[in-house]
Structure 1
Amino acid sequence: MSNEITLDAIDRDILFHLRQDGRLTNVELARRVGLTPPPCLRRVRRLEEAGVITGYRAVVDHQVLGAGLEVIVSIEVSVSDLKTLEGLERTIAAYEEVVEFRRLFATPDYHLRVLVADYAAYERFQTEKIIGIPGVARVISQPTMKKIKVLG
């Protein structure tokens, strides 16, 4: 049995508009998708209950907050025992600088997005927090030059 939900064109339109502005009122959202407010609200609630919409959040300009350097980090590990990998994952996931953290099926083993103030802050982050973690074999850092498209 599948947990998938079937979306029609109106559902997809609702998702499009909420991705653009999650603070839209139901009245404005209904107007944009061509519905009256009650059926629009029912559709949004159905999308929430089905787990299609998992939350609403603020999009933050990290540069304004002093974290203007984004670094894409690839990590290769030298171990395969689950306990060490789980420890590595718990440690890295707890770092405030890490805003995205994924385990991959291929090499590299992990992919991170890290936000810091500048190159000196990233150097401290890498040398003081990442390199000493048991199991880390190689760290490859790629500073972001420009964001072209970011999805929410």
Structure 2
Amino acid sequence: MTDYKLDNIDWKILDILQSDASTSNLELSEKVFLSPSPCSRRVKNLENLGYISRRVTLIDPRKAGLPVTVFVQVTMHHQVKKDLDHFAQRVLEWPQVMECYLMTGDFDYLIRVVTPDLFAYQEFLDQLTQVSGVDHVKSSFSLKPICYKTELPLGHLL
């Protein structure tokens, strides 16, 4: 399986499913011009190979009562493995953290957080600043989303 090379049909399947993960196997097979059984096998193969990591439903955070989006820049006192590992473990515990990236540049981590209000963000911030190794935190509040995508631009592979 490790030497498997994706073909145009595989890439088309990925493109369709990332746009709408609820696409039925029958619909998918018709769109990629395969019968349902081989189409289903291809999807399973793409899952086994790790191209499809999971299928989700995207929920509007405002309608879910989480209208506050904050981008948080975190600077560690030192970038030592022990502190980085501990920080990563803590971040995974917080459900309000939607994304977290180890960065290069002026700060060490960039985190996207959603909360119902500023009070809830303050509670999160209190926890964040107590993590050992955290030196500095800078918060930037989103006023409104301009662009938010979950689909990768696979057009060049089709």
Query: Is the alpha carbon distance of 1:69 and 1:47 closer, same or farther for their aligned partners in structure 2, counting shifts above 3 Å?
Result: same
Query: So what's the TM-score if we normalise by structure 2?
Result: 0.83
What residue number does 1:36 align with? 35
- Select which of 133, 139, 142 maps to 1:141: 139
Q: Alignment partner of 1:45: what SS?
A: helix
What residue number does 1:75 align with? 74
Structure 1 residue 81: Cα displacement:
3.1
Matches within 5 A, 1:87-126: 87-126=86-125
Structure 1 residue 82: Cα displacement:
2.4
Identity across aligned pairs (percent)?
29
Structure 1 residue 133: Cα displacement:
2.0
State how far apart, in whole Å, the 2-side matches of 1:89 and 1:47 are. 28
State how far apart, in whole Å, the 1-side matches of 2:146 and 2:55 are. 22
1:67 and 1:116 in contact (8 A); partners too? yes
Structure 1 residue 4: Cα displacement:
6.3
State how far apart, in whole Å, the 1-side matches of 2:140 and 2:21 are. 31
Consecutive unaligned residues in structure 2, runs of 5 or more = 152-158
Query: Is the alpha carbon distance of 1:143 and 1:55 closer, same or farther for their aligned partners in structure 2, counting shifts above 3 Å?
Result: same
Consecutive unaligned residues in structure 1, runs of 5 or more = none
CA displacement, residues 18-75 of structure 1 (integer Å, 9 cap, x when unaligned): 1111111111011112222122112112211211111212212222221111111111
1:101 partner amino acid? C
Query: So what's the TM-score if we normalise by structure 1?
Result: 0.86
1:93 and 1:101 in contact (8 A); partners too? no
Q: How many residues align?
A: 150
What residue number does 2:47 align with? 48
State how far apart, in whole Å, the 1-side matches of 2:19 and 2:49 are. 20
CA displacement, residues 75-112 of structure 1 (integer Å, 9 cap, x when unaligned): 11112332233222222221121111221244321111
